[in-house]
Structure 1
Amino acid sequence: MIPDLSADGHVHTYLCGHATGAMEDYVRAAIDRGLRRITFLEHLEAGIEYAPKTWLTDQDFTFYFAEGERLRSVYGERLHIGLGVEVGYNPEQVEVILQRLSRFRWDRIGLSYHFHRLPGAPYHLNLLSNKKKNLEIMEHQGSDLLLGHYFDALLDAVERIPAHVLCHLDAGLRHLPGRRFTAAHREQIERLLQAVKRHSMALEINTSGYEITGQPFPPAEIIARARQLGIPVLPGSDAHRPADVGRFFDRLGDVFSAAPAP
């Protein structure tokens, strides 16, 4: 079954600090593209030492929900507007994360892992960054080791944080040249998919990958395995500007044709 390509389930705004455009700009863009549903998935992090800040505070989320309700009153007959969160996993802050999640009523909770604390380092490393400094650290540490940490952290997150969808399954170190998945990584991915299935979660198909690797995150073979396991798949553009809403959704039909569920 092909997912609903009229619904973009992963959209950010200027509120996260590294995107442009107000919430209303994204709503209008979605309507212009003929979408029927959009879900904002703004960043929540806890205990992360990194600059600049790329996530929302609770005060930001209070505004986010108020503005979301206003937009629903204006555009609700033309577009279903979901108010969700992309929560970044931090194994040292699980209780804080759970407390913060409980303060709001989310339409969707997406789960990801961006920031990794290296032993003895005062700051976290952004594993999804394309900044030169971060890439140099990744290369020095070694992609095989860091990717192993990435998949282990996602597996731990799925077990400990109640969420609706797993985001960025294979996007760790996505900007590092020469990144590869070893046999050990593929075993970790299989365990991760099994955990997603066990916790009745969905898997995100993130179309931002087309701009980086020429294919979505995750690629067709992982999508096929998820479908084989009966895991729902949800498309998301990971939009960081209004023009990104629904980007590359027209290519997803080919992904499902090339990798049908066994």
Structure 2
Amino acid sequence: MSPLLFDSHLHTPLCGHASGSPREYAQAALDAGLQGLCFTDHMPMPAWYDAPWRMRLDQLAEYIETIQAVQAEFAGRLEVRLGLEADFHPGTERFVERVLAMHPWDYVIGSVHYLGAWGFDNPEFVAEYENRDLGALYTQYYALVEGAARSGLFDAIGHLDLPKKFGHRDPLGAAALRALDVIADHSLSLDFNTAGWRKPVAEAYPAPDLTRQAAERGIPFVLGSDAHRPVEVGFRFTDALKLLQAVDARVVTYRGGVRHA
């Protein structure tokens, strides 16, 4: 199974902000000529955290059963794997660890979506950027990314430079490079996330310079569309592969928590 045609970042309606059934995502992958996909919906978190944007704990069994039904239906035509996009938020590590122990997930993405109480990638709260010093913001953000890498909970770090989503770019860069060193030291991969091309910043995550820096450190990449609709499955993967191949980056997938080239 070539990792080059595998979409490993996909959501389902259980997260509350995606549309289309998992079966429709799988059919879209098949129609697009992909060899496989891995669902990574937003995992349950404590009830007080980000509740409208993820499945509830009592929906986890439904998620597993739904994807297993898709696996059975597409067997022999498309490899369908089952993972989660988990959140790193200091203080919730034990909860996350318990959820991750509930199933033998193929792949777990660790993402930072919050700085304190602020969901910085939520369009509803984009005005908060005007109240922040961007240098300090990115320093705080990448410190959390380092914490995610050190936690031992995740296989890869999601959308590395996410705070740029609305066009607020990192003015410094040093914190990002330190985070890459930690990611490399802990043998994690990076989510090469093409959703950034659909956002105001109009650039994939991570940016080309960070992609090159990661490749130089031997950090592999996992392709992901971050699809929230079936039509987004495999979004701009040809462009992604050109960028990755230009810097001699490795592209991998995960199955059973094990990295495969």
TM-score by length of structure 2 reads 0.88
* Counterparts of residues 12-91 of structure 1 (less than 5 Å): 12-47=11-46, 49=48, 53-91=52-90
SS in 2 for 1:39: strand
Distance 1:48 1:189 in 2: 31
Matched with 1:203 is: 190
| 1:121-141 Cα deviation digits (max 9, x unpaired) | xxx21111122xx11122213
Matched with 2:170 is: 181
Distance 1:174 1:97 in 2: 25
Shift of 1:114: 0.6
Distance 1:173 1:42 in 2: 22
Distance 1:259 1:211 in 2: 23
8 Å contact from structure 2 (residues 71, 81) kept in 1: no
> Are 2:127 and 1:129 aligned?
no
Shift of 1:257: 5.2
Distance 1:25 1:65 in 2: 16
Matched with 1:253 is: 241
Distance 1:199 1:256 in 2: 21
Distance 1:72 1:228 in 2: 36
**Structure 2: gaps of 5 or more residues:** 250-261
Distance 2:215 2:68 in 1: 34
Matched with 2:105 is: 106
* Counterparts of residues 207-246 of structure 1 (less than 5 Å): 207-212=194-199, 213-246=201-234
Cα gap change, 1:64 to 1:33, in 2 (>3 Å): same
8 Å contact from structure 2 (residues 12, 228) kept in 1: yes
Q: Give percent identity, aligned residues only.
A: 26
SS in 2 for 1:46: coil
Matched with 1:121 is: none
Distance 1:74 1:98 in 2: 30
Cα gap change, 1:47 to 1:150, in 2 (>3 Å): farther
RMSD: 1.9
| 1:94-118 Cα deviation digits (max 9, x unpaired) | 111111211121100100011222x
* Counterparts of residues 122-201 of structure 1 (less than 5 Å): 124-131=117-124, 134-175=125-166, 177=167, 179-183=168-172, 186-201=173-188
Distance 2:47 2:122 in 1: 15
Distance 1:259 1:103 in 2: 38
| 1:222-253 Cα deviation digits (max 9, x unpaired) | 11111111111111000000000001112123
Distance 1:151 1:51 in 2: 20
SS in 2 for 1:235: strand
SS in 2 for 1:168: coil
* One-letter identity of the residue aligned with 2:22: M
8 Å contact from structure 1 (residues 45, 89) kept in 2: no
Distance 1:218 1:173 in 2: 10
Shift of 1:79: 0.7
* One-letter identity of the residue aligned with 1:126: G
Distance 1:128 1:55 in 2: 14
Shift of 1:52: 5.9
